[in-house]
Amino acid sequence: MRPKFPFVMDCGLFTTSYQEDMAVLFSPAAKIKVAAIIAFFLVLPYFVSPYFISVVNLIAIAVIGALGLNILVGFTGQISIGHGAFMGVGAYTVGILTTKVGLSYWAALPLAGIMAAMVGAVFGIPSLRLKGLYLAIATLAAQVIIVYTIIHWTSLTNGSAGIVIDAPRLGSASMADDRNFYYFAMLLCLTAIVCTVNLFRSRVGRAFMAVRDRDLAAAVMGINLLKYKVMSFGLSAFYAGIAGALLAAYLRVITVENFTVEVSIQYLAMIIIGGLGSVMGSIYGAAFMTLLPIFLRSAADFFGSFLPNIAHFLLSMQTALFGLIIILFLIFEPEGLAKLWKDIKEYFRLWPFSY
């Protein structure tokens, strides 16, 4: 390598082999960046308060769920309003397997994903014939059916009383401790991100995108529509199942109210705000949706000290504000936070000559 002068810019990165050309982390700086981020998250719990860790834990769970939904909605162009219910399937699988069958949590975790994937795939079958709004209603039916089953199959699910599970333990480390759970959730979250990024470098991921862009054209090119649509539903539900199982381990109580249609819509909002068809967008969206109520609450507390009435007003505005944010994103930045962040980076990169 020849020596480099500082402040001199290359006119590009050049690769000399296919392997280099296809690398996920294309430039050396990207490698440093990713390493820095991972190192940052590794040491984070030693510097922040336990409450902050608990918030990050909730975000990590939401990221896994949002990634799954983005595979289906953002990359395959299908729609699902049953994501919350698929999370419920995962959580209840863990609950039933650990309390009634006596499996350990670690064995139940992958089974929860597989179970949710199977249920998701079944409800994905109508997607071959249904599109758009019709598919949305069909998946809404999945949501209602699953929730109804959970509430009324009391012998298996304890109905609305829910299932109480013990905190999973790994050796002497109990997941009831936020810091231990943090590393566990982060590991799963990182795995999910890496898998998703790689998925779209594979044949399957490209097939998903072909289906999204024009399913007829995809079929002409020899993509089996049924297979890939159902696979996308299954894969999306697998992520949801894992997220649900994680949530179960975190809350240690599994009740149906954590998996209602509001949750499904919240996940849709996450990926719309974060960016449809963007892996990073799923992460930004999940973090945004989890943090917004917390910021709003501190804002309400802050203003409440001068104007007592405004605090209550701000809190009641929360739902309306969510709606407003989604509308604004759809109008001004349909590609979400991911695009916004990219634009900001571009601006600084090209400054002062942003042509």
CA-based nearest residue to 338, from 66, 38, 52, 137 = 66
Residue 222 is encoded by which pair of tokens?
Answer: 């020899």
**Which of 133/320 has CB closer to other proteins?**
320
Find the binding residues for other proteins in span 303-322 (CB under 8 A). Answer: 312, 315-316, 318-319
Does residue 107 interact with other proteins by CB under 8 A?
no
Q: Name which position in 107, 137, 164, 324 contacts other proteins (CB under 8 A).
A: 164
From 43-51, 201-209, 214-222, 232-240, span contacting other proteins (CB under 8 A): 43-51
The residue from 15, 104, 160, 198 that contacts other proteins (CB under 8 A) is: 160
Instruction: Answer yes or no whether residue 187 interacts with other proteins by CB under 8 A.
Output: no
Phi-psi region of 342 (alpha: psi -120 to 50; beta: other; left: phi over 0): alpha
**Contact status: 353 vs other proteins (CB under 8 A):** no
99 touching other proteins, by CB under 8 A: no
Give the one residue of 133, 349, 353, 354 binding other proteins; rule: CB under 8 A.
349
Does the protein bind other proteins through residue 348 (CB under 8 A)? yes
Report the alpha-carbon distance of residue 340 to residue 330 in Å, rounded: 13
The answer to whether the beta carbons of residues 72 and 135 sit under 8 Å apart is no
Query: CA dihedral defined by 77, 79, 84, 87, rounded to 10 degrees?
Result: -40
Cα gap 110→117, rounded to integer Å: 11
Of the pair 191, 298, the CB lying nearest other proteins is at: 298
Binding mask 259-298 for other proteins (x = CB under 8 A): ---xx-----------------------------xx--x-
Q: Minimum distance between the CB of residue 118 and other proteins, rounded to whole angstroms?
A: 25
Token couple for 15:
């690769």
How open is the CA angle 225-230-235, to the nearest 5 degrees? 125
| Torsion angle in degrees (nearest 10) through CA of 46, 49, 54, 57 | -30
Give me the residue label for tokens 């440093």: 32
Q: Please, what is the minimum distance in Å from the beta carbon of residue 51 to other proteins?
A: 4
Q: How far is the CB of 189 from other proteins (least distance, A)?
A: 17
Do 318 and 325 touch, CB atoms closer than 8 A?
A: no
Among 193, 258, 303, 304, binds other proteins (CB under 8 A): 258
Q: Contacting other proteins (CB under 8 A), which of 159, 169, 183, 197?
A: 159
Window 215-254: contact mask with other proteins (x via CB under 8 A)? -----------------------------------xxxx-
Give the residue with the Cβ less far from other proteins, 128 or 318.
318
User: Of 21, 213, 257, 343, which lies in the binding site for other proteins, with binding defined by CB under 8 A?
Assistant: 257
Q: Are 184 and 175 in contact (CB under 8 A)?
A: yes
Strand partners, 169: 174
Q: Does 137 bind other proteins (CB under 8 A)?
A: no
Q: Hey, which bits of the chain come out as E strands?
A: 163-164, 169-170, 173-174, 253-254
Is the link from the previous residue into 45 a cis peptide, with omega within 30 of 0?
A: no
- Beta bridge pairs of residue 263: none
In the set 49, 104, 198, 202, which binds other proteins (CB under 8 A)?
A: 49
User: Does 197 sit near other proteins (CB under 8 A)?
Assistant: no
Nearer to other proteins, 131 or 345 (CB): 345
Out of 1, 9, 216, 220, name the contact with other proteins by CB under 8 A.
Answer: 9
Assess 162 for contact with other proteins (CB under 8 A): yes
CA angle, residues 84, 296, 285, in degrees to nearest 5: 40
Distance CA 150, CA 155 (A): 10
Q: How far apart are CA 207 and CA 163, in angstroms?
A: 39
Distance CA 23, CA 17 (A): 10
Binding residues (CB under 8 A) for other proteins: these are 9-10, 12-13, 27-30, 32-33, 36-37, 40, 44, 47-52, 54-55, 58, 151, 159-162, 164, 176, 178, 250-253, 255, 257-258, 262-263, 293-294, 297, 312, 315-316, 318-319, 345, 348-349
